[in-house]
Structure 1
Amino acid sequence: MAGTREQLATPRRTGGARPAVRTSRRRRSRVRFTLAIALSLLVLVSAGAGWLYLKLGGDIKTFSADGISGDRPDAGSSGENVLVIGSDARTGGNDAFGGGNKSDIGRSDTAFLLHVYADHRNAVAVSVPRDTLVTIPPCKLPDGSWSRAQPNTMFNAAYSMGETAQGNPACTQNTVEKLTGLRVDHTVVVDFKGFAAITDVVGGVKVCLPNNVYERDLDPNLRARGKLLFARGEQSVSGQKALDYVRLRHGIGDGSDIGRIKRQQAFVGSLLKKVKSEGLTATNLLPLATAATRSMTVDPGLGSADKLLSFALSMKNIDLHNTKFVTVPWRYEGSRVALVEPDADALFAALRADRTIDGKDASGKKGAAAPAPAAATSAAPTPSPGTGIRVTVYNGTTVRGLAAEAAGTLRTDGFTVLGTATALTQNHATTVVQYGPGETARAQTVAQRFPGAQLQEIGTAGIKVIVGQDFAAHPSATSTGPQPTGIPSGVSHDARSADDNVCSNLSYG
């Protein structure tokens, strides 16, 4: 029996090569086993990632694209325009964060258009005050019909067009495109819950308060000032406190919605700084995206996890200093807000041309070769046809930017444009050139730049061009004049960068 055990324990040696062969087989077996484990882990990890993407994608809500207008601006450069809407709806449990009636569908409490320049190294966010008087173009209603255009209407009313619990982000997108002449590539709507969740995931956002803020500052209907909500100075806020900060209007600065916009811009800049400090990687962005998508509605083009993360990662090369925040040029009109022209037109024209706020070309294209020097000649240069003729241009339509386009056409031919503005009425089908006594010849020269324009003598001096729909439809209405070299100085002077001091430039008051 012992011999039997000995034979079992010690292999019979019949040749020198046999043990090496068996050892080699055992090694190959271990390698195959190790590879099998690695492949199994890879499958499990991949399946886990797939499940995560599936879950994330399942959380994303999209709005229907059939409400987006067919009358849209042409696609511009390889840059992108993203409309971000903050909804103040109380539906879907948002009343727990914002108070009020839980059936209130709300409006767009805040909105900005993020223009990512074609070089993907610069970006500017343009805030549109919610009380801005604009023309809301035709929008699709719940019964399938389309509304009529609504001139002189508050901007935030576009989101509630149709009075549905889901809001009408497509109508807000149509309105922004009509307002700016920029094609909106993507639209994102974030509600109270989504906002609070985002700030929780990033571990809080640094903000600054110029003074102590109490409960009555958040709710002016309270008789007593209530408890202290925010102490003066720098602090980190998240969740409900972050929401209270960006909604805060009274008791700080000038108490206006415009002043609140400046603090919201500072908050977004601080949020970007926090996210970028952690690194724009898929690993860091997935928890953020997971929190955001639970209370976010996007256009169909961003309606999947990979598209959403891909867009976020495309922003990684944009430096914080090159991420700017501005407010559309504005002025008060009673209790409402009106656009200031020609500054607003110039701002949007600069974005369409991919010009930064300091006038740099951010189109990503290689610089054009310098023009060859003109041949020497003894002849005097031929004067431009518009030399010495002064003109004021008015937009007689609801097409945004038309007066600026016409002004550019005139300047190309040497005319002096005194300014642009919106006409008293915006239903002009035909362009009209108005002129005073003794100015017939100069008015005729102006009219030659607008085929089919009507001449009209008036009792006051000066030449005025009221551009109509015929100019909007004419090829010359495209950008033929020189492109603006930058955003108007009044806008750029008040801009902030994402890396600015969190305590600076927080209000107009």
Structure 2
Amino acid sequence: MPTSRQATPSRHHPGTEPPSLGGRATGRRERHPLRMSLAVALTIVVLGTAGLGWIYLKLNGNIDTFDAGGLSKNRPGAGSSKGENVLVIGTDARTGGNSALGGGDSNDIGRSDTTFLLHIYADHRHAVAVSIPRDTLVTIPPCRLPDGTWTKPQPNTMFNAAYSVGETAKGNPACTQNTVESLTGLRVDHTVVVDFKGFAALTDVVGGVEVCVPQDVYEGDLNPNRGTRGALLFRKGVRNVSGQKALDYVRIRHGIGDGSDIGRIKRQQAFVAALIKKVKSDGLTPADLLPLADAATKSLTVDPGLGSANKLISFAMALKDIDLHNTKFLTIPWRYVGERVAVVEPDASELWAGLRADRTIDGKDAAGTKGKARASASPSPSADVSGAGIDVAVYNGTTTGGLASRAAASLTRHGFTVTGTANAISQDHVSTVIEYGTGLRSPAETVARLFPGAQLTPVTGTGIDVVLGRTYATAAPSASPAPTALPSSVAAGARSADDDPCSNLSYG
């Protein structure tokens, strides 16, 4: 069994832990035959129209799907989360008429403009959307190119570069999906891509969305290369925006706040919250539903699991009972590294662990009956382990994605300080190895109590490193502890969908 010493990230790994992944966006259209499912039957009642069959065929014809063959073969397991995870990607692709709205060359490659992971809790009454800044430094795992080959991992790379792998006009949503799975250790159940044109159409259909503008905004703020201030786009105050105006509002980066992508994320979260609030407050009449469904399906590229009107409507209906106040928006724990963004640990690992356990940001168990069963489970044999004052770095020595995040979350729950997670130099470790420097045998033994069967190995240097092996990948996760609140750094900036549009729009 290989056990090379990797005391620091530079010696231990090529970058943050990634599983193998990839994706080629084929953009092919799927036209599924009409199926009389429960979702169809319920929709008949809502629509009350004899033309339903034609409507479904029309909506099916709108929907684009991407090729799931580019997804990783080493994804987190289907049971990695009690709830359901949906990746939402806003793209600035210029194809299909989008260049008229977003500017740029219509032949340019597709890029992700904004991304968030929506976790729908198992009780179907709570949801949280976690934004991932596009400048976040991550490892992009191997991705499939249009010719069928796979790239090598790209450590220390901006997150939004994953969507551009392969440099196709329609982008690479499968690569972004697998990058998120690698980063979080959570399995993404569905991925939805929304483009400029479709986004603008959606806001038109609902009659506009109420947003807060902190200051007068001009054309030059939207395009800092313009040279002149240009015409007034938004006057300060609460405004109703739709179409191009709505698109301009969510895309403006310069000229509002600190001009950062982080600041823009706050406004985007407020906008999505206001859009959800508008749809829920207005309700959907039969006359409203068809235009909204038509606009939505035209704007989306989805994974094959959502590739029909039946599937999309069934999925949407499953969300109808989620309360506005229980719909939260937050951002992955972050810090600046120069002009880029780094993920803050162990806060991020605690966040992903909370979502896996269906724990809300205030510590409530939202897993429904599953949560009750878990709460009554017998405590883990390692329940009394205390890691206070012990620093540990965690490395994934396997090809199974998400292991380092899983182990880091376990260590954090027991009071250890996780100094970082990453991939080991080699991914062929069979057993877990705990490497420790001079004088650290005792704390290393404490760490080992959380990893039954781990081998303790003294090495030259300082610090304690956990190099995870395949035995850890196949071991059943220990029972989750009783729900506790997430770190204040995670919850402090959270927004509820029913918040005032002018509240919580700044990072300081």
Fold agreement, TM-score > 0.5: yes
- Residue 52 of structure 2 aligns to a residue whose secondary structure is helix
Q: Is the counterpart of residue 82 in structure 1 residue 78 in structure 2?
A: no
What is the CA–CA distance in structure 2 between the aligned matches of 1:424 and 1:67, rounded to whole Å? 21
1:367 aligns with 372
What is the CA–CA distance in structure 1 between the aligned matches of 2:382 and 2:95, rounded to whole Å? 65
Instruction: Report the CA distance between 1:426 and its aligned residue.
Output: 5.5
- Per-residue CA deviation, residues 276-326 of structure 1 (Å, 9 max, x unaligned), is 112256664332120122232111111111211221122111111000001
The residue identity in structure 2 corresponding to 1:362 is A
Does the 8 A contact of 1:396 with 1:428 survive in 2? no
What is the CA–CA distance in structure 2 between the aligned matches of 1:384 and 1:240, rounded to whole Å? 55
The residue identity in structure 1 corresponding to 2:455 is A
1:269 aligns with 273
- Per-residue CA deviation, residues 20-74 of structure 1 (Å, 9 max, x unaligned), is xxxxxxxxxxxxxxxxxxxxxx9xx765111111111111111122112221112
Aligned match of 2:453 in 451, 454, 457?
451
Q: Is the counterpart of residue 337 in structure 1 residue 329 in structure 2?
A: no
Instruction: Report the CA distance between 1:151 and its aligned residue.
Output: 1.8
2:149 aligns with 145
Aligned match of 1:181 in 178, 185, 188?
185
Instruction: Report the CA distance between 1:486 and its aligned residue.
Output: 3.5
Instruction: Report the CA distance between 1:190 and its aligned residue.
Output: 0.8
Does the 8 A contact of 2:110 with 2:170 survive in 1? no
Report the more deviating stretch, 244-253 or 176-185: 176-185
Q: Is the counterpart of residue 49 in structure 1 residue 52 in structure 2?
A: yes
Question: 1:211-360 counterparts in 2 under 5 A?
Answer: 211-279=215-283, 284-360=288-364
* Cα distance change of structure 1 residues 372 and 386 upon mapping to structure 2, 3 Å threshold: closer
| Structure that is richer in helix per residue | 1
* Cα distance change of structure 1 residues 434 and 284 upon mapping to structure 2, 3 Å threshold: same
Aligned match of 1:198 in 197, 202, 217?
202
* Cα distance change of structure 1 residues 395 and 436 upon mapping to structure 2, 3 Å threshold: closer
- Per-residue CA deviation, residues 484-507 of structure 1 (Å, 9 max, x unaligned), is 623321111100000000011112
Q: Which has the larger radius of gyration?
A: 1
What is the CA–CA distance in structure 2 between the aligned matches of 1:388 and 1:168, rounded to whole Å? 41
Does the 8 A contact of 1:208 with 1:233 survive in 2? yes
What is the CA–CA distance in structure 2 between the aligned matches of 1:191 and 1:466, rounded to whole Å? 42
What is the CA–CA distance in structure 1 between the aligned matches of 2:123 and 2:492, rounded to whole Å? 23
- Residue 207 of structure 1 aligns to a residue whose secondary structure is strand
Does the 8 A contact of 1:254 with 1:508 survive in 2? no
Does the 8 A contact of 2:375 with 2:481 survive in 1? no
Number of aligned residue pairs: give it.
454
- Residue 151 of structure 1 aligns to a residue whose secondary structure is strand
Aligned match of 2:65 in 52, 62, 66?
62
1:397 aligns with 396
- Per-residue CA deviation, residues 351-408 of structure 1 (Å, 9 max, x unaligned), is 01100000100001163599799xxxxxxxx999856885322122387654554356
* Cα distance change of structure 1 residues 215 and 458 upon mapping to structure 2, 3 Å threshold: same
What is the CA–CA distance in structure 1 between the aligned matches of 2:418 and 2:187, rounded to whole Å? 26
What is the CA–CA distance in structure 1 between the aligned matches of 2:375 and 2:285, rounded to whole Å? 41
- Residue 504 of structure 2 aligns to a residue whose secondary structure is coil
What is the CA–CA distance in structure 2 between the aligned matches of 1:258 and 1:208, rounded to whole Å? 17
What is the CA–CA distance in structure 1 between the aligned matches of 2:472 and 2:377, rounded to whole Å? 35
* Cα distance change of structure 1 residues 294 and 407 upon mapping to structure 2, 3 Å threshold: closer
Instruction: Report the CA distance between 1:439 and its aligned residue.
Output: 4.2
What is the CA–CA distance in structure 2 between the aligned matches of 1:80 and 1:370, rounded to whole Å? 20
What is the CA–CA distance in structure 2 between the aligned matches of 1:438 and 1:78, rounded to whole Å? 41
* Cα distance change of structure 1 residues 222 and 368 upon mapping to structure 2, 3 Å threshold: same
Of structures 1 and 2, the one scoring higher in RCO (CA 8 A, sep 6+) is 2
Report the more deviating stretch, 403-412 or 495-504: 403-412
* Cα distance change of structure 1 residues 427 and 390 upon mapping to structure 2, 3 Å threshold: farther
Q: Show structure 1 runs of 4+ deviating over 6 A.
A: 369-373, 382-385
What is the CA–CA distance in structure 2 between the aligned matches of 1:388 and 1:161, rounded to whole Å? 40
Q: Is the counterpart of residue 496 in structure 1 residue 495 in structure 2?
A: yes
The residue identity in structure 2 corresponding to 1:103 is N
2:30 aligns with none
1:105 aligns with 109
Does the 8 A contact of 1:429 with 1:468 survive in 2? no
Aligned match of 2:74 in 50, 71, 74?
71
- Per-residue CA deviation, residues 72-127 of structure 1 (Å, 9 max, x unaligned), is 11223563211111110111211100111111123110011111100000000011
Does the 8 A contact of 2:75 with 2:401 survive in 1? no
Identity across matched positions, percent: 64
The residue identity in structure 2 corresponding to 1:68 is L
What is the CA–CA distance in structure 2 between the aligned matches of 1:480 and 1:392, rounded to whole Å? 23
Q: Is the counterpart of residue 506 in structure 1 residue 505 in structure 2?
A: yes
Does the 8 A contact of 1:350 with 1:483 survive in 2? no
1:169 aligns with 173
Does the 8 A contact of 2:198 with 2:296 survive in 1? yes
- Residue 294 of structure 1 aligns to a residue whose secondary structure is helix
1:475 aligns with 475
* Cα distance change of structure 1 residues 244 and 441 upon mapping to structure 2, 3 Å threshold: closer
* Cα distance change of structure 1 residues 71 and 406 upon mapping to structure 2, 3 Å threshold: closer
Q: Is the counterpart of residue 159 in structure 1 residue 160 in structure 2?
A: no
What is the CA–CA distance in structure 1 between the aligned matches of 2:383 and 2:146, rounded to whole Å? 54
What is the CA–CA distance in structure 1 between the aligned matches of 2:286 and 2:308, rounded to whole Å? 14
* Cα distance change of structure 1 residues 102 and 483 upon mapping to structure 2, 3 Å threshold: farther
Q: Is the counterpart of residue 466 in structure 1 residue 471 in structure 2?
A: no
User: Alignment RMSD, CA only?
Assistant: 3.1
Question: Structure 1 length as normaliser, TM-score?
Answer: 0.81
* Cα distance change of structure 1 residues 454 and 91 upon mapping to structure 2, 3 Å threshold: same
The residue identity in structure 1 corresponding to 2:372 is G
What is the CA–CA distance in structure 2 between the aligned matches of 1:389 and 1:279, rounded to whole Å? 51
Instruction: Report the CA distance between 1:420 and its aligned residue.
Output: 3.9
- Residue 289 of structure 1 aligns to a residue whose secondary structure is helix
Q: Is the counterpart of residue 210 in structure 1 residue 209 in structure 2?
A: no
The residue identity in structure 2 corresponding to 1:50 is G
The residue identity in structure 2 corresponding to 1:503 is C
* Cα distance change of structure 1 residues 73 and 212 upon mapping to structure 2, 3 Å threshold: same
The residue identity in structure 2 corresponding to 1:397 is N
- Residue 242 of structure 1 aligns to a residue whose secondary structure is helix
Instruction: Report the CA distance between 1:149 and its aligned residue.
Output: 2.0
The residue identity in structure 1 corresponding to 2:156 is N
Question: Structure 2 length as normaliser, TM-score?
Answer: 0.81
* Cα distance change of structure 1 residues 468 and 51 upon mapping to structure 2, 3 Å threshold: same
What is the CA–CA distance in structure 1 between the aligned matches of 2:128 and 2:64, rounded to whole Å? 26
